[in-house]
Amino acid sequence: MRFGVNYTPSTGWFHHWLDFSLDDVKADFESIAALGLDHVRVFPLWPVFQPNRGLVRPRAVGQLALMLDAARETGLDVQVDVLQGHLSSFDFYPSWVQTWHRRNIFTDPDVLDGQRRYVRALAEALRDKPNFLGFTLGNEVNLLTESNPCTPEQAGEWIDALLAECEEAAPGLPHVHSEYDAVWYESEHSFLPEHAANKGAMTTVHSWVFNGAAQRYGPLSVESVHHAEYLVELAKAHAKDPGRPVWLQEVGAAQPEISAEQAPLFAEHTLANVLTCSNLWGVTWWCSHDVDRALVDFPEREYELGLLTTERKAKPLGEAIARMVRECEHEPVTRAPIKLHGDRPSWGPGGAFFEEWMAHAREGVRSSIELG
């Protein structure tokens, strides 16, 4: 079992790439390691790293390499997302896919050529780092389909092409892709459960109960604190390989759905439940540090998601996670299978299958999911 955190820099948020301070990064990593965590997931900003299709900035790539070295000094492994893409309600695109240059990032062959170039440049700098855990293609890239429409076939082809580039450029590492839960819960969504559960080295799931679970059932309800466990089991059901690992790549306690006072208990129950799942590779909490309120225009829920303050002090939530990391064991349990039925909306909060699975959970029954 791996326990880590999605790294949100305490100074400047992800805009820190514009004013990169290795000292700040080292101090952030020391505060993360002090919680007992073993890895971070980090996020280069695509327009900062590749401002032109033919230019991947050596200085930016070098700073990312220094970040991995700093992490190693504090005992942290690093997983690197490539295309940002989408972060905390903001979308980041380089100018060469925007305005009158507008190109679809999933289907345009020139864009794909540029993305391959970007992957190769990062891989050349990182692949020999002993603490490099591989690439995620991008953070919740399916959020970008509204402005970059594609068919399910095109989405699958894009994933395959870039995962192949990752493997060729940095062979033997667990490269993955990530989507938010529309891949599981929304009808006619072009990124499919079959993509999530079968492409890449393992399946990633992002569990956020502000998707309706907390609003409908309550922040500490069975439905909310079992949501991550449910998503892991739903992902396992769609995997052709019964032993395929699942990575809970994002889970967090977002306000106002979960108050700061409720967050530690939410974390304890969520982790205790998901740790009963077999094939679980690890848990990576969102996120490391709060967002400085000097930065404006974020949704309110984004400011205080951190385990640590912007002054790098552990919050009660961070202390709870640290305690769970010290004390919890990964103990998969025997599960009673339930046949999956209905369409994707029926699998989400309020849907018929979701309700059926959670009814068993309310009775203390741990359920697996089988395709019908």
Strand (E) positions, 25-129? 39-42, 77-83, 86-87, 90-91
The answer to the question of residue 339 being in a domain is: no
- CATH code of the domain containing 242: 3.20.20.80
Beta bridge partner(s), residue 289: 308
Query: CA 241 to CA 316: how far, in whole Å?
Result: 39
Would the pTM of this model clear 0.85, i.e. be above it?
Answer: yes
Q: Is residue 180 helix, strand or coil? A: coil
Residue 234 has a CB neighbour count (10 Å cut-off) of 26
The answer to the question of residue 349 being in a domain is: no
Structure tokens of 247? 């990575």
Residue 325, Cα to own-chain centre: how many angstroms? 19
Contact between residue 148 and residue 138 where contact means Cβ atoms under 8 Å apart: no
* Number of domains into which the chain is organized: 1
Query: CA 64 to CA 154: how far, in whole Å?
Result: 30
User: β-strand 132-138 against 203-207: which pairing, if any?
Assistant: unpaired
Query: CA 203 to CA 245: how far, in whole Å?
Result: 6
Query: CA 252 to CA 240: how far, in whole Å?
Result: 28
Beta bridge partner(s), residue 40: 5, 78
The answer to the question of residue 364 being in a domain is: no
Residue 244, Cα to own-chain centre: how many angstroms? 18
Q: Which domain holds residue 262?
A: 2-332
Q: Is residue 303 helix, strand or coil? A: coil
Burial of 127 (0-12, 13-18, 19+ CB in 10 A): middle
Contact between residue 130 and residue 72 where contact means Cβ atoms under 8 Å apart: yes
E strand or H helix at 67, and its extent? helix 58-73
Give the pLDDT confidence score for residue 329 in this predicted structure.
79
Give the pLDDT confidence score for residue 131 in this predicted structure.
98
Residue 307, Cα to own-chain centre: how many angstroms? 16
- DSSP readout, 71-94? HHHTT-EEEEEEE--EETTEE---
Ranges of residues in the chain whose predicted pLDDT is under 50: none
Query: CA 285 to CA 276: how far, in whole Å?
Result: 17
Query: CA 275 to CA 130: how far, in whole Å?
Result: 27
Look up residue 143 and give its DSSP letter. Answer: G
CA–CA distances in Å: residue 250 to residues 3, 139, 193, 259, 338: 11, 10, 17, 18, 25
Residue 151 has a CB neighbour count (10 Å cut-off) of 11
Query: CA 302 to CA 210: how far, in whole Å?
Result: 12
Query: CA 219 to CA 132: how far, in whole Å?
Result: 35
CA–CA distances in Å: residue 327 to residues 37, 77, 275: 13, 21, 12
The answer to the question of residue 350 being in a domain is: no
The answer to the question of residue 365 being in a domain is: no
The answer to the question of residue 361 being in a domain is: no
Sequence-distant (≥ 6) Cβ neighbours of residue 202 within 8 angstroms: 174, 176, 244, 245, 246, 247, 281
The answer to the question of residue 343 being in a domain is: no
The answer to the question of residue 366 being in a domain is: no
* Tens of pLDDT, residues 17-31: 999 999 999 999 999
Query: CA 71 to CA 280: how far, in whole Å?
Result: 24
